[in-house]
Chains A and B, each alone.
Chain A
Amino acid sequence: MQSNDKAQVVLRLNAITKTFGKLTANDAVSFSLHKGEVIALLGENGAGKTTLMNILFGQYTADSGTVEVFGRPLPPGNPRAALNAGVGMVHQHFTLADNMTVLENIVLGTQPLWRPGFDRTGARARIEKLSADFRLRVDPDARVGTLAVGERQRVEILKALYRDARILILDEPTAVLTPQETDDLFHTLRKAVDLGLSIVFISHKLHEVMAISDRVLILRHGKLVSQVETDQTDRKTLAALMVGAEVEAPKVDPVTPGPALLKLDNVGTPDQGSAPGLKSVTLALRAGQIIGLAGVSGNGQTALAAVIGGLTRPASGKLELDGETPQGWSPIHAVHSGIARIPEDRHKIGTIADFDLTENAILECYQDQPFSKRGWMNWGRARDFTRRIIDTYDVRCPGPSTRIRLLSGGNMQKLILGRVLEPEPRIILANQPVRGLDIGAVTYVQNQLLKARARGAAVLLISEDLDEIMALSDVIHVISEGRLSPGFPRGTMTPAELGVWMAGDGFEGEHSLAS
């Protein structure tokens, strides 16, 4: 043991390597974490951050390399051992039971809940003390199913603290939070550090990394490419390290918007479980304009995309194309109306994993000539079409007969882009078009959207990434609990101002949220 508290190494990873088939997710990654330190693990989606943390937490077994916690080696592949050693993980996707209370969720797994011996009062006292110490406000008796996302995250953190975690791993904790909630989280994390905990903070958002961390580790393609002290660096340097090249914001030339191609007039849809429906949304998509839809995920983006994409009909209000209400409204109507739909989930919704590229390329047009005639497929023409997409959109693949599940996310997305953009659509619905893509693919996709805008297409860009929205959009709307803010022209709003709307506080006549 060292005398200096700050220098005590609480966690050490030695040359961790993990491969999945041909992909090397982690390539000899080593680092150490000291007591009271916050390190940020920075990297693009797919750089190997989550894999590394899953190895640390025992959910994956590394091919080689070891993990030491407080100087003792951790047996591989055993989450319980990691927990016992004081490692707590807050996953990107929460692992809470919706139908149980906060208290039950926190205690679950540490002691039998329904035996007579269960000390509910003691558990409650302990949770309340942790809540106060770490500034994690939450009602122990609330059912988790009724909580907002930010509150659920606090429960997850409490769960780790209740198990005496000395090392907290947070995997992309801010992806689901408003800027204000993010600030609250950072307060909690600083508290935790003051109380002697150590934190690994995983993110790909540069400003957050700058705000919270002492040291930044940069992962690129599974390799640890750099370690820097946060106060010795800046965002631009980090971005360059992260992607391996200087990043440039896409150039947006001014375009005079044309007529409204698609209009929503006071459109409402019912709520779907905890996902809010639309609350009288009015929106116009104009030729030559990119509308950005900002908002915390799960606030009605899915409902809006479903209406425009033809998956649901407005329950109230109306949808107009070129000033007329369409006769029927279904996915195929949307496609035939010239709406290109880039779905949010390219793995589950946008493609069929076990279909090959050709079968996936014609998913929306197989009923049309020349791909089929009177019920008979013309696979030759379908393959020609696919080859054209592969060439034009630079889809890296062995050929049109490759199963699409073997492609990387970026190449999959390029195939979808080709599928929907090849018919020169008038309207583009891009729902999270760059999520999970590497920077090269991101630039490519964004440039395709700008190209479509330049030739007069109307674009609706839905994204959780405020930076992306602000860089690309001519007009920004914020969606919160199914309500749509007015349109803010480019450059009139700061991120903080948009954050107020994202938290639901900008809407008139509405009570602000308790948090």
Chain B
Amino acid sequence: MGSKGNTHLRLEPISNPTLARTILPPLIALGSTVVIASLLAMIAGANPFSVLGLIVKGAFGSKFAALETLNRATPLIFTGLSVAVAFRAKLWNIGAEAQLYAGAVVTVILGTGALTLPSIALVPFIAACAMIAGAVVLLIPTILKTRFGVDEVVTTLLFNFIFLLFVSMLLEGPLKDPMGMGWPKSARLIPEARLPRILPGLRLHWGFALAILAAIAVWIIQKRTTLGYEMQAVGLNPEAARFAGIPVRAALIKTALLSGGLAALAGFSEVAGLKGSLTLDLSPGFGYTGIIVAMLALLNPLAVIAAALFVAGIFVGADSMSRAAGVPTYLADIMLATALLLMVLAILLTRFRIRRE
């Protein structure tokens, strides 16, 4: 109670942060992540330098490794963009996972022979339908939010589990591959529905190029269109936006459609570009990892590409490191979690200064 020895820490907002203050904390966050990972590698009984070296080498050290990393980054770019778009408008979409599976389900329904069109027409048509499905999946929680004030964090998060069970039901029932020897797995896409490889012989499909284009498109929307302006205004201050006459609800709905559609493209590109069919383990949590990607990119759509490559590189590199050094791949999860936490702290430090009183 008394006055002695009673120190308080207080956050004071910085009105005009310097360039160093904007850039340094995120870099320090990434540096600290590496240091913490090294400590863990040492605890696991390995040489930290060789572990880090192996991760980098495993992710980017060979043509095969680099292509693997790019493939792994592709869905993360889509889900990262999905989250970045939504979070910028303060629409807390935690449901990219469900939207991803919605895109994948539509891809399988339309791409396994139900439609026969030349590839040049079929692939874009499926992609568009997949986007619509993902958009609808996010639309429902968004309408619940704008109409009734239901917290979208809860609805989008819980919807992930519902949707995954729904997919499971489809794979045990209507979508089950009759030739699948009883495995819960869909039939394979017809060749016209597949995303081709960018270069023959290279294991990299057009989904990656589509992801890059999507990032550029999102960037242009944010910088150059009235929609981008509205989404940003609604995210920064919905009350002021409403006062000024910005259609706040409509802007949120449009944000949801775009965000859900982007996440669905991740499912589309995984099925049509990489796997060729749908199984329940299509996504090892790409929807959730998208949140990490978007946060590391500070919600900037172009930075999402870099962040997705970073995250994908750690996953791919950790796999190969684990085989070579005998350190468990969980190190990758720890590194990402650490990077995310430190980055959130770093963002705080770019905007506030800690005062001791």
A residues contacting B by CB (< 8 A) are 21, 61, 75-78, 80-81, 309-311, 330-332, 334-335, 341, 343, 348-355, 359, 363-364, 366-367, 372, 375-377, 379, 405-406
Contact = CB atoms under 8 A, between A and B. Distances in A.
B1 A348 contact: no
Nearest to B6: A78
Interface in B217-241: 224-229, 232-233, 236-237, 239-241
B240 A349 contact: yes
B237 A364 contact: no
Given A61-B357, A359-B229, A352 B240 contact: yes
Contact of B229 (A77, A350, A354, A366): A366
A80 B1 contact: yes
B275 interface: no
Given A21-B16, A351-B240, A375 B226 contact: yes
Contact of A363 (B16, B224, B240): B240
B239 to A, nearest CB: 6
Nearest to A77: B357
Contacts of A352: 233, 236-237, 240-241
B242 A377 contact: no
Contacts of A309: 243
A246 to B, nearest CB: 34
A377 B244 contact: no
B3 interface: yes
B236 A355 contact: yes
Overall SS of chain A's interface: loop
Contact of A355 (B1, B233, B357): B233
A354 B239 CA distance: 14
B237 A310 contact: no
A307 B135 CA distance: 35
Q: Which of under 10, 10 to 19, 20 to 34, or 35 or more describes the interface residues of B?
A: 20 to 34
Contact of A348 (B229, B239, B246): B239
A310 B245 contact: yes
B237 A353 contact: yes
Most buried by B among A77, A349, A352: A352
Contacts of A351: 240
B345 to A, nearest CB: 20
Nearest to A403: B16
Nearest to A372: B226
Contacts of A80: 1, 3
Given A76-B357, A376-B226, 14 more contacts: A78-B3, A80-B3, A309-B243, A331-B244, A331-B245, A334-B245, A348-B237, A352-B240, A352-B241, A353-B237, A355-B236, A363-B241, A375-B227, A377-B225
A367 B16 contact: no
Most buried by A among B8, B228, B236, B244: B244
27 contacts: A21-B15, A61-B357, A80-B1, A311-B243, A330-B245, A331-B243, A334-B245, A343-B243, A349-B239, A349-B240, A352-B233, A353-B236, A354-B236, A355-B233, A359-B229, A359-B233, A363-B233, A363-B240, A363-B241, A363-B244, A364-B244, A375-B226, A376-B224, A376-B225, A376-B226, A377-B229, A406-B16
B242 A311 contact: yes
A81 B357 CA distance: 14
Interface in B296-354: none
A332 B233 CA distance: 16
